[in-house]
Every structure is written in C-alpha cells, then in structure tokens.
C-alpha cells in the first residue's frame, strides 16, 4: 500500500499524484516506470515516474483517465492509497550531450517526456520542448516545463492555444530553422509514427517511448512484445524507449486493440460517467490520427 | 489401532481411486478436479503398503520423504503424526501431493507396483496435509534462538519458501523479496486453481509468516534493490537467489505477434494471478475463448494447464499441438488423462510453421505440418522429421505457446561476479548451491532450467543447510 501525499487535477482528465515510495524515489532514473494496482481486484498498469523527491521519499505520477483503471485512479484523493506500486522498471533514458535536443509530448505524453527533458537539460543540451494536445484545456505541465528547459512551444489541434496544428508541424518548422541533433517523442502511436517520418529524411536520432499493454513488467509474460529493427523485443525490460526509425508502429497499434471490447465492458461496469464518451476518449487516445 | 494385516491380504486391496469432479461438469468450472481421499479410503490405501525393509519408494523421492513411516501412521489413523513425519523432509506436502510427477518418482519404485498398482503415495501425502490444514491448522515447528544473522531470499516460489522455512527455524532473520503482488511463484501465477487451489499456497505462506519470515511483495531485485545493495547497505549476511525460469520462449515463426497469440506465462498469469476468469469482477481481461477454437503448442504440464484452462473459459475446440508422439510428452500422466476426459483434442506429430491472420492483426489460423518419428536425438527421444507436402491450415482464434521458459536476465544484468551457463542458468556448487560469489547461493529453476516443484524445494533446503553453515562459520 502506498499513500497518496498529494493529488491534484492538471486538466479535466489528467491528475498528478505525489505518492510515498521511498525505495523507488531513491533509485529511479528518467525514463523508468512503475506498475500499479489501484485495488485488490485491479489490473497491473504501467505509469511513468514523472518526478521524484528522494529526501521526502516520494515519486510523482501523472495519469490520464481513459479507461476503467485510470479513471478509478483519478478518483483517488490525498491520503488514499494505491494497493501496489512496483518499480522502478524498464531501462533509463539514454541521457547524453547531443547538442540541441527536442522533446515532444502529446497529451499525457508531456508528463512522460518531462523527466527526460529535464535530464537532457542537466546534461548541457540546448533543450526544446513541444507540448501538444487537442485543445487548450488538455495542455499540461507547460509551467513546469518552462521552468526547466530552454524553449517551450505549445500546439493545439483546434488552435485554441499556441500554434494551430500538430506537433509535427512545429517540429518541421524547427528543423528547417536550425540543426536538431536529437528528438524524443512520446504520445499517441500515430503521433510518434508521424514524428519518426518527419525526422527520418534528415537522419535525426529519434527516440520514442512505447506503450504496449503490460502485465508483469519484468519480462516474464511477453505480452508487451513489439517489433523493433525486425526483431521481437519485450518493451518492459528492453525499453520502453527505442529508436523511432526502427519501430513497427502499425503492429503496436494493432496489438494495443486486443482488449478493446473488454475495456468497454469494464467501463460499463464502473458507471462512473458517461460510458460512451469515456470509451470514445479511450479510442481516441490510442488511434486519433494526428497527421 | 487397526489389526495387522498379512502382506498377502495387503496385496489384495486394490488401489483406491481418487474421487474427482465429473469431467463434463468440471470442464466448466475452476474448482479443484481431484476431491481428495476420505479418511476411510486413506486408511485402506495406507494398508496396501508392505513396510518394506528397504523402501525403494524413498529413493525415488528427491527430498527423501520417510514414506514408509508416514504411511504406517496413516494406516493407524494417526494423521497428525503422519503430517509431522512428512514435514521433516517436505514443507509443502499439500502442494507436492498434488503436483509431483509421482509416477516417475516415488511411486515408480514402489514394490507393490511390480505386481499391482503402486501405493498411491502422492494421494496419501495430499490427504495428510489437507487433514492437518483443515482440521488441526498448520502446525508450526520450533525455531532456534535468534542468531542475529539476516538472509535475503529472492523469489517466493517453492525454492525460496522452503529455504526461508529452514533458515527461520535455524534462528536467522529471513526476508523474502517477490517481484509480483502475490506470493508463491509458479504455484500462484502458473499452476491453475483447478489443480492447486490458491488457498493452500496462502495457508503455507501464512504459516511461514507466523514463524517470523518477512515478505516484501512488489520488490524486483535488480531494479528495486540489487543483490549488492542487499549485501552491503541493507545488511544481509547471505542471499539465496530463487527467481525461477521466467522468460517465455516463442516459436519464432511468422505471425507470432498477431492478436490472440499468447505465451503460456501470459495466458496463465492473466487467468490465475489476475483472475481474468472472473472478469469483470476482476479488471484484467483475457481473450474471450467462448465457442472459439484454441490451440496450445507444447506437451508439458504447462501446455496441459493452458489447454484445460481454455476449455474452462468455454472454448469449443481446445487442441494440444505437439511435434512428437504421446509417449514423448513430458506432462504428468494424470494431466494428460484429465485433459482427454475433458474433451481436449490432441494433434500429435504436428508442428506449426506459421500463424495466419486478418489485415487488422487478428489470428485466424495456424499452418501446420505433419511429422514422423526418426532416430533418437540427444534427449533420447525419437526425433520428429517433417513430412513434405503434409502442410495444412487449422482455423484457430487463439494460440498459446507453451514450449518452455528460459531464465529471466534481470539478475544477470544487475549482479556482478556470478557465472552462468550458455542458457543463462546460474552455475552453483551442486552440494552447497553456492555461486561463484561468497555468501550468494542459488537454486530452483534458475539453476536447473524449468524442472519440478519438489526439485526446487530440495534445492532450497540444500541451500538453507549450506547458508546456515556459512553463517555460523563466519
Ligand atoms: C511504459 C508505459 C508508461 C506509461 N505511462 C503513463 C503515464 O505516465 N500516464 C498515463 O496516463 N498513462 C501512461 N501509460 C498508459 C497507461 O498505462 C494506460 O493508459 C492504462 O493502462 C490504461 O488502463 P485503463 O484501464 O484506464 O484503460 P483501458 O480502457 O483498459 O485501456 C485503454 C488503452 O490503454 C492501453 N492499456 C490497457 N491496459 C493496459 C495495460 N495493462 N498496460 C498498458 N497499456 C494498457 C490500451 O492501449 C488500451 O486500448 C503508460 C504505458 C506504458 C506502457
Ligand atoms: C504452468 C506450469 C505448470 C507446472 N506444473 C508442474 C507440476 O505439475 N508439477 C511439478 O512438479 N512442477 C510443475 N511445474 C514446474 C514448477 O512449477 C517449477 O519447477 C517450480 O515452481 C520452480 O520453483 P522456483 O522456486 O525455482 O521458481 P518459481 O516458482 O518460478 O518462483 C520464482 C519467483 O521469483 C520471482 N522473481 C523472479 N525474478 C525476481 C526478482 N528479480 N526479484 C524478486 N522476485 C523475483 C517470481 O516472480 C516468482 O514468484 C509447472 C510449471 C508451470 C509454469
Ligand atoms: S514429495 Fe513428491 S516424490 Fe516425494 S514422496 Fe511426496 S509425492 Fe512422492
Ligand atoms: S515401496 Fe511401496 S510398499 Fe514399500 S514401503 Fe514404499 S510405499 Fe510401501
Ligand atoms: S509485461 Fe510481461 S514481459 Fe513485459
């Protein structure tokens, strides 16, 4: 059981939790994640460690409520408990001096990109961050990002805030104006695929963080397998970050649809909100074609 | 006390059948298949034992359970005494009585079996353990005064649990680190409820807790703590690595990443550990097998567990696809027998070449090839040879790959100074289970590769003995 020290909404569907997990707080590195279970009947779901405070013994998780488990988590308040938290899992991000490094976060992906962007900055990179979302209300961590990195660009699909368009358009603009040495892209699969397509012609080193369905998170089940460079990898232990130019995104997208009908059923049982709307969100989060 | 029977009379008693749930009924539920012997049946079965002067049965048991003695106590109706006798050598009799391959171990050596069917040692062991747990409560042994030494056990499978049990009794402080949120290793995530009810594993773990063993769930050693940190900053004096064989092998054929293709570990973990068979009461889903065709590839216990699980999830056709013939199948006889009774279809001498599916990525079938048996290979089993032109497509909706497990690399990647075989198994001294690093011991599937519960337990006890000597000598 891990206590929630602080819980607050960052946007309508996205909530930030600071939770007690002293061991993980000390050990975690940027890019690693935890697996949590919200209750004794819950699924094991992976969440990136967005930040940590080793002296307080806390870690930060930022959760987008898109399905049964994440919505239940987002109903948790300060002083509630996560049933299980295990980690830190996965390989840490490769943090080096690249030169100019762009980190792109789509939706809740901004939360996942945040720790790595900060670490890249600390390594001396000129660090640019692009935060994208469908609409203004869904933009998260802009303030936090501005405090830590050199340049921040915001994009919204509907033009309600920042640049009117997709993160890839903003990226293409940056690439045409200056030399970019490294790109990190985290968000919906179509977004990551589009970023890979944008940087491939210029051969810019591009890393994505993959989000397959996981169970154990320790390499025991193989459920999280993906194809990278024509080879099967287990994302939980070999990743989650991989060379974007070598990832088979179409396969990942198909595999992530395995449990769609169940997810809908699970939400229906939950009755916490307008089911269809929530389900649509879940669908969109995964398949909205941003480009 | 029952009247002493002559050996001749003993030989006349037939082996008592195990009462079991009706095949049709049980293939629709997850309750235990075998119901257990009654007291009367147990006493009758125990009377079949001849109390040999040189009991050959004991030589077949990897941990040397004093079979003749405990069976004599059962024959006398002294079930508590029998339980204590078994526990001198085997701390998990309720588990072993259920899942040991007795027909190849203790029972194959039983003298009665030379003429009649052997004494049902496993069933008696199970009876005694169940009697103790249900009627008397698990009896906890005496622990020696505290030594002030601390041991870290990594992994809560049978190897880790048995090592922890012996070390706590020897007076050491023991902490068991487990990566998952439940304790028991394969006993909880792999072997299904219908073969080994999880309540039994829970009761055994609770008994260890009452002796003072500390359990830390959700702790992946290598990530949460490393072996080195346990030995240095965390102050443990010795470490026992019992992390099992947790890396699923795939077939490496085209189409293996289609939706509906699982490793046995994933399928069984979803169903057993995460209780997907109770979806949506529990949140974790598993492929909906209802009225579907399921193919399980492999011929071991894991394959039988997976295929019987698919039946229970409502599959219309559940196939075992195995490239050799039935005699070469490594699964326990009882499991194969039960699977057949439950309507599992066996496609033997058949090998998969490829999985086929839809554009959207869903499995629709497996391309199979017939095989014939040639000369024996290195394993002594006759080698299957493909028959050219025999390929065909079997329509299936779900596939489970159950062809074995390799060793999980997390410990290897995060621990200096251990030595490994080519397959990634930790190399140890066979007598002491000590690794190439002082104070670091290993045992169970991580050393042997996928083996059996009783061998893992035996390794845990051997290691406990050596760790005890190491700690007291140090
Ligand atoms: C390494 C990694 C890090 C992640 N970090 C974050 C994060 O920091 N914040 C955040 O909000 N989300 C994160 N996610 C995604 C998050 O795990 C899923 O949104 C969540 O599991 C959905 O569960 P649900 O029951 O709410 O939704 P569901 O309705 O069950 O599923 C919605 C979609 O989520 C995905 N999903 C479902 N179950 C799982 C599962 N067990 N494991 C992984 N994906 C699943 C599927 O693509 C599915 O279509 C991360 C995923 C991975 C793999
Ligand atoms: C489906 C199935 C059916 C089987 N049926 C039978 C049968 O009928 N009869 C029989 O005798 N044998 C059977 N076996 C084999 C038997 O279960 C194993 O040989 C035995 O469980 C091995 O015990 P172990 O203690 O070495 O490892 P395991 O039981 O595998 O336990 C290892 C534990 O360590 C944990 N772990 C792994 N890595 C870490 C880490 N880094 N940090 C912390 N914890 C970690 C794992 O989560 C796991 O809980 C079966 C196996 C399977 C998979
Ligand atoms: S532990 Fe297994 S092999 Fe030994 S006596 Fe019991 S059932 Fe037989
Ligand atoms: S070999 Fe058979 S008859 Fe002899 S002691 Fe063992 S169980 Fe009894
Ligand atoms: S989640 Fe099971 S192997 Fe990655």
> Which residues sit opposite A9 in a β-bridge?
A15
Q: CB A257 to CB B284 under 8 A?
A: no
Instruction: Give the nearest ligand 5 atom to A223 CA.
Output: 2
Tell me: do B103 and B224 sit in the same domain: no
Tell me: do A216 and A135 sit in the same domain: yes
Tell me: do B198 and B271 sit in the same domain: no
Beta-sheet pairing, A126-133 with A100-106: parallel
Instruction: Determine, yes or no, domain membership for B189.
Output: yes
Tell me: do A165 and A126 sit in the same domain: yes
Instruction: Determine, yes or no, domain membership for A141.
Output: yes
B195 CA distance to ligand 4 middle (Å): 26
Q: Is B105 in the pocket of ligand 3 (CB under 6 A)?
A: yes
H-helix or E-strand spanning residue B79? helix B79-87
The backbone region for B277, taken as left when phi is positive above 0, alpha when psi lies in -120 to 50, beta otherwise, is alpha
Q: Which of B54, B184, B46, B39 is nearest to B122 (CA)?
A: B46
- Residues 247 through 276 of chain B touching chain A, CB cutoff 8 Å: 247-248, 250, 256-257, 259-260, 262-263, 265-266, 269-270, 274-275
Nearest-by-CA chain A residue for B284:
A43
B402 phi/psi in degrees, rounded to 5? -130, 60
Tell me: do B300 and B179 sit in the same domain: no
Q: What integer pLDDT is reported at residue A264 of this predicted model?
A: 76
For residues B313 and B276, give the distance between their C-alpha atoms in angstroms, rounded to a whole number: 10
B454 CA distance to ligand 5 middle (Å): 27
Tell me: do A76 and A167 sit in the same domain: no
* Residue B297 at interface with chain A, using a CB cutoff of 8 Å: no
Tell me: do B255 and B393 sit in the same domain: yes
Query: Cα B207 from chain centroid?
Result: 20
Instruction: Determine, yes or no, domain membership for A268.
Output: no
Tell me: do A67 and A203 sit in the same domain: no
CATH number for the domain that contains residue B99: 1.10.1060.10
Helices (H), B269-332: 301-312
CATH number for the domain that contains residue B310: 3.50.50.60
Of the candidates B223, B270, B288, the beta carbon closest to that of A89 is on B223
Tell me: do B304 and B318 sit in the same domain: yes
Tell me: do A107 and A156 sit in the same domain: yes
* Residue A263 at interface with chain B, using a CB cutoff of 8 Å: yes
For A111, residues 6+ apart whose C-beta sits below 8 A from its C-beta are A14, A16, A48, A50, A62, A105, A140, A141
Longest dimension (CA), chain B: 73
Distance in Å, alpha carbon of B350 to nearest chain A alpha carbon: 24
Tell me: do A157 and A248 sit in the same domain: yes
Instruction: Determine, yes or no, domain membership for B145.
Output: no
Instruction: Please return the burial class of A232, using the count of CB atoms within 10 Å of its CB with bins 0-12, 13-18 and 19+.
Output: middle
Cβ-contact A192, A112 below 8 angstroms: no
Provide the number of structural domains found in chain B: 3
Tell me: do A32 and A162 sit in the same domain: no
For an interface test with A, the pick among B245, B284, B404, B406 (most A C-beta atoms closer than 10 Å) comes out as B284
Q: What integer pLDDT is reported at residue B244 of this predicted model?
A: 95
Tell me: do B267 and B379 sit in the same domain: yes
Tell me: do B297 and B380 sit in the same domain: yes
For residues B311 and B316, give the distance between their C-alpha atoms in angstroms, rounded to a whole number: 7
Domain housing B28: 2-136
Instruction: Determine, yes or no, domain membership for B391.
Output: yes
Of the candidates A84, A219, A263, the beta carbon closest to that of B181 is on A84
Distance in Å, alpha carbon of A220 to nearest chain B alpha carbon: 5
Distance in Å, alpha carbon of A219 to nearest chain B alpha carbon: 6
Tell me: do A120 and A11 sit in the same domain: no
For residues A4 and A232, give the distance between their C-alpha atoms in angstroms, rounded to a whole number: 37
Q: Which residues of B touch A254 (CB under 8 A)?
A: 259, 360-361
Tell me: do B45 and B91 sit in the same domain: yes
Question: Would you call B249 helix, strand, or coil by DSSP?
Answer: coil
- The model carries a pTM of 0.92
Provide the number of structural domains found in chain A: 2
Q: CB B179 to CB A215 under 8 A?
A: no
* Residue B108 at interface with chain A, using a CB cutoff of 8 Å: no
Nearest-by-CA chain B residue for A91:
B223
Give whole-number Cα distances, A131 to A136, A138, A194, in Å: 11, 10, 15
Token pair for B10: 């003993």
Q: What integer pLDDT is reported at residue B318 of this predicted model?
A: 97
Tell me: do B397 and B414 sit in the same domain: no
A285 phi/psi in degrees, rounded to 5? -55, -30
Q: Which of B182, B166, B163, B147 is nearest to B241 (CA)?
A: B163
Instruction: Determine, yes or no, domain membership for B33.
Output: yes
Buried b (16+ CB within 10 A) or exposed e, B402-434: bbbbebbbbbbebbeebebeeebbbebeeeebb
Domain housing A67: 2-89
Cβ-contact B150, B175 below 8 angstroms: yes
Q: Which of B235, B222, B241 is nearest to B172 (CA)?
A: B235
Return the number of CB contacts < 8 Å for A and B. Answer: 111
Tell me: do B195 and B155 sit in the same domain: yes
Q: CB A219 to CB B247 under 8 A?
A: yes
Mutate to test the pocket of ligand 1, among A69, A73, A85, A91 (most ligand atoms within 8 A of CB): A69
Instruction: Determine, yes or no, domain membership for B178.
Output: yes
Distance in Å, alpha carbon of B57 to nearest chain A alpha carbon: 36
Instruction: Please return the burial class of B80, using the count of CB atoms within 10 Å of its CB with bins 0-12, 13-18 and 19+.
Output: middle
- Which segments of chain A have a pLDDT < 70? 268-291
Tell me: do B186 and B239 sit in the same domain: yes
Token pair for B460: 């845990």
Of the candidates B223, B263, B409, the beta carbon closest to that of A87 is on B223
Total number of residues shown for chain A: 291
Token pair for A159: 């033009």
B110 CA distance to ligand 4 middle (Å): 5
For residues A180 and A166, give the distance between their C-alpha atoms in angstroms, rounded to a whole number: 18
Q: Which residues of B touch A27 (CB under 8 A)?
A: 223-224
Tell me: do B418 and B399 sit in the same domain: no
pLDDT tens, position by position, B282-341: 899 898 889 999 999 999 999 999 999 999 999 999 999 999 999 889 998 889 999 999
Q: List chain B pLDDT tens, one digit each, 474 residues.
A: 445 788 888 888 989 989 999 998 898 889 999 999 999 999 999 999 999 999 999 999 999 999 999 999 999 999 999 999 999 999 899 999 999 999 899 999 999 999 899 999 999 999 999 999 999 888 888 899 999 999 999 999 999 999 999 999 999 999 999 999 999 999 999 999 999 999 999 999 999 999 999 999 999 999 999 999 999 999 999 999 999 998 999 999 999 999 999 999 999 999 999 988 888 888 998 988 899 999 999 999 999 999 999 999 999 999 999 999 998 899 988 899 999 999 999 999 999 999 999 999 999 999 999 999 988 888 788 889 999 999 999 999 999 999 999 988 899 999 989 999 998 999 999 999 999 999 999 999 999 999 999 999 999 999 999 999 999 985
Q: Is B67 in the pocket of ligand 4 (CB under 6 A)?
A: yes
For residues B383 and B328, give the distance between their C-alpha atoms in angstroms, rounded to a whole number: 10
Tell me: do A75 and A115 sit in the same domain: no
> Which residues sit opposite A130 in a β-bridge?
A104, A153
CATH number for the domain that contains residue A17: 2.40.30.10
Instruction: Determine, yes or no, domain membership for A284.
Output: no
Instruction: Determine, yes or no, domain membership for A272.
Output: no
């Amino acid at each position: 059981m891990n206590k929630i020290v602080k819980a607050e909404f960052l946007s309508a569907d996205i909530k930030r939790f600071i939770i007690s997990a002293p061991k993980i707080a000390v050990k975690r590195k940027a890019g690693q994640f935890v697996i949590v279970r919200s209750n004794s009947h819950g699924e094991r779901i992976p969440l990136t460690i967005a930040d940590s405070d080793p002296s307080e013994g806390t870690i930060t998780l930022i959760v987008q409520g898109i399905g049964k488990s994440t919505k239940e988590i987002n109903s948790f308040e300060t002083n509630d408990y996560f049933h299980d938290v295990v980690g830190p899992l996965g390989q840490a991000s490769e943090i080096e001096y690249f030169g100019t490094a762009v980190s792109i976060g789509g939706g809740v992906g901004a939360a996942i990109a945040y720790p790595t962007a900060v670490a890249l900055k600390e390594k001396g990179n000129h660090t640019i961050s692009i935060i994208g979302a469908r609409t203004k209300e869904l933009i998260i961590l802009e303030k936090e990002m501005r405090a830590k990195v050199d340049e921040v660009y915001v994009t919204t699909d509907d033009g309600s805030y920042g640049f009117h368009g997709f993160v890839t358009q903003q990226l293409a603009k940056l690439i045409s104006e200056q030399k970019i040495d490294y790109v990190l892209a985290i968000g919906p699969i179509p977004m990551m695929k589009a970023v890979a397509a944008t940087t491939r012609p210029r051969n810019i080193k591009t890393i994505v963080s993959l989000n397959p369905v996981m169970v154990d998170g320790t390499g025991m089940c193989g459920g999280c397998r993906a194809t990278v460079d024509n080879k099967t990898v287990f994302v939980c232990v070999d990743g989650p970050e991989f060379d974007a130019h070598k990832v088979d995104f179409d396969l990942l997208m198909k595999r992530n649809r395995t449990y769609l009908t169940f997810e809908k059923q699970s939400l229906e049982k939950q009755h916490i909100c307008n089911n269809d709307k929530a389900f649509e969100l879940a669908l969109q989060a995964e398949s909205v074609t941003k480009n | 006390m029952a009247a002493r029977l002559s050996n001749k009379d003993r030989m006349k008693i037939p082996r008592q059948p195990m009462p079991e749930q009706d095949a049709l009924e049980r293939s629709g539920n997850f309750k235990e298949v075998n119901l257990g012997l009654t007291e009367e049946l147990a006493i009758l079965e125990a009377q079949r034992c001849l109390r040999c002067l040189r009991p050959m049965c004991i030589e077949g048991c990897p941990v040397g359970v004093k079979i003749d003695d405990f069976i004599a106590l059962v024959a006398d109706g002294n079930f508590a005494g029998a339980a204590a006798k078994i526990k001198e050598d085997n701390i998990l009799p309720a588990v072993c009585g259920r899942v040991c391959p007795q027909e190849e171990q203790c029972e194959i050596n039983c003298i009665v079996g030379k003429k009649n069917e052997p004494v049902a040692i496993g069933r008696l062991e199970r009876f005694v353990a169940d009697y103790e747990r249900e009627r008397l409560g698990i009896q906890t042994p005496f622990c020696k005064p505290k030594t002030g030494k601390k041991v870290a056990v990594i992994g809560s499978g049978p190897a880790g649990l048995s090592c922890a049990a012996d070390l706590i009794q020897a007076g050491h402080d023991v902490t068991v680190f487990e990566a998952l949120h439940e304790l028991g290793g394969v006993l909880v995530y792999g072997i299904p409820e219908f073969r080994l009810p999880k309540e039994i594993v829970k009761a055994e773990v609770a008994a260890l807790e009452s002796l003072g063993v500390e359990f830390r769930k959700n702790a992946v050693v290598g990530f949460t703590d490393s072996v080195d940190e346990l030995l240095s900053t965390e102050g443990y004096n010795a470490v026992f690595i019992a992390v099992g064989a947790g890396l699923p092998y795939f077939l490496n054929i085209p189409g293996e990443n289609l939706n509906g293709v699982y490793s046995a570990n994933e399928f069984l973990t979803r169903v057993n550990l995460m209780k997907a068979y109770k979806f949506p009461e529990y949140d974790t889903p598993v492929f909906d097998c209802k009225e579907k065709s399921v193919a399980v590839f492999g011929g071991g216990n894991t394959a039988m567990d997976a295929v019987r699980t698919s039946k229970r999830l409502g599959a219309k056709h559940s196939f075992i696809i195995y490239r050799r013939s039935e005699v070469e199948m490594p699964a326990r006889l009882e499991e194969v027998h039960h699977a057949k009774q439950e309507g599992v279809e066996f496609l033997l001498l058949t090998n998969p070449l490829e999985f086929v599916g839809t554009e959207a990525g869903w499995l629709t079938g497996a391309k199979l090839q017939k095989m014939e048996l040639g000369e024996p290979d290195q394993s002594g089993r006759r080698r299957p040879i493909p028959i050219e032109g025999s390929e065909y497509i079997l329509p299936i909706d779900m596939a489970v790959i159950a062809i074995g497990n390799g060793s999980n690399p997390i410990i290897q990647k995060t621990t200096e100074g251990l030595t490994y075989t080519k397959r990634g198994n930790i190399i140890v001294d066979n007598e002491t289970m000590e690794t190439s690093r002082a104070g670091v011991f290993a045992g169970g599937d991580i050393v042997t590769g996928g083996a059996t519960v009783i061998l893992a337990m035996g390794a845990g006890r051997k290691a406990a003995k050596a760790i005890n000597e190491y700690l007291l000598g140090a």
